[in-house]
Structure 1
Amino acid sequence: MSVILGIDIGGSGIKGAPVDTASGKLLKERHRIPTPEGAHPDAVKGVVAELAKHFGVDGPIGVTFPGIVQHGRTLSAANVDKAWIGLDADALFTEATGQAVHLINDADAAGLAEARFGAGAGVNGTVLVLTFGTGIGSALIHNGVLVPNTELGHLWLRDREAEDWASDRARERDDLNWKQWSKRVSTYLQHLELLFSPDLFIIGGGVSKKADKWQEHIKLERSRFVPAKLLNEAGIVGAAMMAQEGGPEAQQQEISPTSQSPAPKPASKAGKKK
């Protein structure tokens, strides 16, 4: 059993727990600390260090971030302090905790966890995980391989960014009932369906806990869709998985060589006339 601490940085809370990366199970109850006002790197660094101390960590730590993460650097800051842009956050948190810390985009972490242990377990082909909350996060996975930092919530749709029109925050802001919101989500998913032709959409974020309110109203042409299974644990589990598998450089390796069927081999050219 490999136990790794996963930490999920969110807009309102920073949550952590040790994870058995072989099963995807949390080994202790999640510990949550409110996200510091403004989410400045120095303040968030202190919370991450406090969580590491709380769980008595001795080993690598996986941390999610609500923005683009490339080679340990945070390159965007849509809902956090702009001081994150261009920051070597791996180094910041490694210094704060005294352990090797590896960052991953929060939706990518949720996607990894859902693909291995959740609603996408055993599904071959293209899986698109979408988290509906303050914005819309996305994780694109093909045959178990993550394509990081897709940021599909920022696609332009109806003269604005999709997440400004179809996120859960937009539902609350515009006082939409679930059927009205589902119509917007269907339009967004149909657009993604046209672009990516996924075999499966996994709908995550806070709305996944209320699937009975919207599931029957989603309309798609070809793709299947299901609610996420891991709910609020997905980011923690995915962060731990990524850290256990070697950090950002391993993000494009297969997440499970045994849980997925191999991609079909091209037809043999034997006997073909030249």
Structure 2
Amino acid sequence: MSKVIGVDIGGTKIRMGVIDAEGRILAERQVKTEFPLYPHLERHVLLFLEEHPDVSAIGIGTHGFVDPQAGSIVFAGDMLPGWTGTEVKAPLEQATGRYVEVENDANCAALAEAKFGAATGLGRVVCITLGTGLGGGIIWDGKLLSGGPHGGAAELGHMILYPNGSRCACGRLGCAEQYLSGTALVRRIKEAGLSVTPPELFELAETDAQAQKLVADFTEDLAIYISSLQAIFDMDMLIIGGGVSESASAWIDELKRQLAKVLLNPLPVEVAQFENDAGMLGAALLVLDR
């Protein structure tokens, strides 16, 4: 039976799991993200391999712009300091003796949802992840759309939503990530003078007019953003994952009301099924079908 290791590298933790061809997580390990990142990653992958030597390959999903052909990190922001420019594939293959693939974490989440999750069997799927940042992954005719000369394909968080708006970590003004991520929600709440977390905001919106306006503004921006994605991709389904999606039951109806005003055509919008496991499962899928 084919077994591989899927690794999900985030700003605070690294999760790795042994995954089989049916997408089952047979074993897993979680460690704190530490810097410099590459030697820390290699050390823990080798320790995990000692316990599970029968795996055939390793898939890595990571925050940032990735060159999947070279298996290197083109750009990573402040969340992973020192990660920009790091070669991952070649040194990890040499250290482990296993085939290695490297991809953006949101692309991995899209792979997982299209293969095993909310979009199983669909050919054209866009997945957005509303977490610390705003990530995107695109499945086009069953294949992952990724790479590009700068590793920036499907960096959907860097579509400009508000020209001359808030400064993004990429250096430009008004990127969607500055309005539609968990971090953006925290900023919006602070600017409104409220002292609640995003999940508490959605609860408060049931009774408080100011909170209701914040949620309405957030869902309207998200609807406009999704309608732009539909105009480009005309996808079978849009999937919303990431930490903010865990509160989706409180705001998804409002989003669908806003979408009805701006969509070109009907579009199924679903919440990701895998939540925290999506990155790890998708990373495994990079190498499972080899």
Taking structure 2 as the reference length, what is the TM-score of the superposition?
0.76
Q: Deviations over 1:179-230 (max 9, x none)?
A: 2432332222122223322221000112333221121111322322000111
Distance in 2 of aligned mates of 1:40 and 1:2? 28
Matched position secondary structure for 1:107: helix
The structural deviation recorded for 1:111 is: 0.7
Correspondences of 1:7-46 after superposition (within 5 Å): 7-21=7-21, 23-28=22-27, 30-36=28-34, 38=35, 40-46=37-43
Matched position secondary structure for 1:198: coil
Contact 2:130 2:241 in 1 (8 A): yes
Counterpart in the other structure of 1:62 = 59
Counterpart in the other structure of 1:49 = 46
Matched position secondary structure for 1:32: strand
Q: Deviations over 1:208-262 (max 9, x none)?
A: 332211211113223220001111111111111111234xxxxxxxxxxxxxxxx
Q: In structure 2, give the amino acid aligned to 1:48.
A: V
Aligned length: 242
Counterpart in the other structure of 1:105 = 104
Correspondences of 1:1-274 after superposition (within 5 Å): 1-21=1-21, 23-28=22-27, 30-36=28-34, 38=35, 40-56=37-53, 58-70=55-67, 71=69, 72-81=71-80, 83-124=82-123, 126-148=124-146, 149-159=153-163, 160-175=174-189, 177-178=201-202, 179-180=215-216, 181-218=218-255, 219-220=258-259, 221=263, 222=265, 223-246=267-290
Contact 1:45 1:93 in 2 (8 A): yes
Q: In structure 2, give the amino acid aligned to 1:167.
A: S
Distance in 1 of aligned mates of 2:51 and 2:247? 32
Instruction: Classify 1:217/1:55 alpha carbon distance in 2 versus 1 (closer, same or farther; 3 Å).
Output: farther
% identical equivalent positions: 32
The structural deviation recorded for 1:94 is: 2.3
Q: Deviations over 1:90-126 (max 9, x none)?
A: 02322343432221111111111100110000224x2
Contact 2:181 2:244 in 1 (8 A): no
- Tell me the C-alpha RMSD between the 2 structures: 2.1
Matched position secondary structure for 1:242: helix
Instruction: Classify 1:114/1:79 alpha carbon distance in 2 versus 1 (closer, same or farther; 3 Å).
Output: farther
Matched position secondary structure for 1:119: coil
Extract unaligned runs of 5+ from structure 2. Answer: 147-152, 164-173, 190-197, 203-214
The structural deviation recorded for 1:144 is: 0.9
